[in-house]
Amino acid sequence: MKDAQEAAVQAIELRRQIHRHPETGNHEEKTSALVEETLRALGLEVSRPMGTSVVATLRGAQEGKTVAFRADMDALPVQEETDLPFKSEVPGVMHACGHDIHTAGLLGAAMVLAKHRDELKGNVKFFFQPDEEDSGGAQRMIQAGCMENPRVDAVFGAHVDPDLPTGHVGFKYGKSYAASDMFIVTIRGKGCHGASPHDGIDVIAIGAQVITAIQQIVSRRTSPTESAVVTVGAFNAGTAGNVIAQEATLRGILRTLGPEMRMKTRRMFTDTVEGICSAMGAQAEVKIIESYPGVVNWDDMVDLAKNVAEDAVGRDRIHIFDQPTMGTEDFGYFIKDVPGAYYKIGVGNPDIGAVHPIHSPHFVADEAALPTLIGVHAAIAAAYLQ
């Protein structure tokens, strides 16, 4: 960890610079320029496959496999409300999800590994990804060829966790993050005067029945040992209090764990909506918009990462999570068909106010976790390429 401690000195300065100048998804111009400059100074091969993405390749002294690491770079449209001396200087934009730590940590790992390139048997690729928070930059990076030339054999990544103490590392075998789909349901009925509801088909009443019924997808049609979320976030219909609306729209999300549960929930959702609307004389248009695929860690890759982390920080600082999160993360695209694992790095420290959840305007990540992040990344790379 000595090399990681040394690299963390520069990584902390980079993190503060990135935090001070946050940029939202697909607008990471300054951030990606700083990343590219830092990587080129290390003598790495650098490319810009799409948009503001940055890919760097460190070729070891000997031929071998290729392992990749990913860090997301984008910030959130949040007004920062911390007292950090390096708080955001951009109104309404903040690194409230720790992507500044992710980026600086991976740059630090590149510093450590570049120092030992003559000892590496194989290659290390570094993916600096834009737009994790919105439309998902991971899939577009893959489509742009980041997993090729040289072809990647395994991918690892990490996310800060304010619920873990600084310097601790957390792992989850198998299903780790949920898959996400958005839905738009349009219910078409027959408008009429509010005093004569029998002359129309009331889409608001039908929509209310739909909202109630789809909750039973989770409570009565999903096993308690499985997880799913069905949430309606918007219900819009009508413009006047004395008129029965002709059309209503429901918008929301479906969250599921694993591809089988995802398809099953979509099917139950569509059947329920269409069935109720048909029974009440209305027409339903169900549009499901596929989003992130979920993160399913590969068990052997979790084993490798966990063993390496134990050696780096000590067994007492290793956590194994029993339950997945219903949150989403587009890292799942990278390990959908290629082995890999996604782990958590603790950044929680009550002494400095690092107690708030991610996406909060008060979120603070303890940058003292950077040596751990750097050291674990670098050690995993070395172990995988042995």
Query: Which amino acid is residue 90, in one-letter code?
Result: V
The crossing angle, in degrees rounded to 10, of helices 2-20 and 99-115 is 140
Measured distance CA(73)–CA(240) in Å, rounded: 45
The verdict on whether 173 is a catalytic residue reads: no
367 is catalytic: yes
Distance of CA 154 to the CA centre of its chain: 18
Residue type, 71: A
Beta strands in the chain (DSSP E): 45-47, 54-59, 62-72, 121-129, 154-165, 169-171, 175-177, 179-188, 192-193, 228-237, 243-244, 247-256, 283-290, 295-296, 318-320, 340-348
Helix %, strand %, coil % for the chain, to 5? 35, 30, 35
Among the listed residues 173, 292, 333, 342, the single catalytic one is 292
Of the candidates 23, 36, 133, 367, the residue annotated as catalytic is 367
DSSP string, 103-163: HHHHHHHHHHHHHTGGG-EEEEEEEEES-TTTT-HHHHHHHTTTTTTTTPSEEEEEEEEEE
Q: Which positions are catalytic?
A: 292, 367
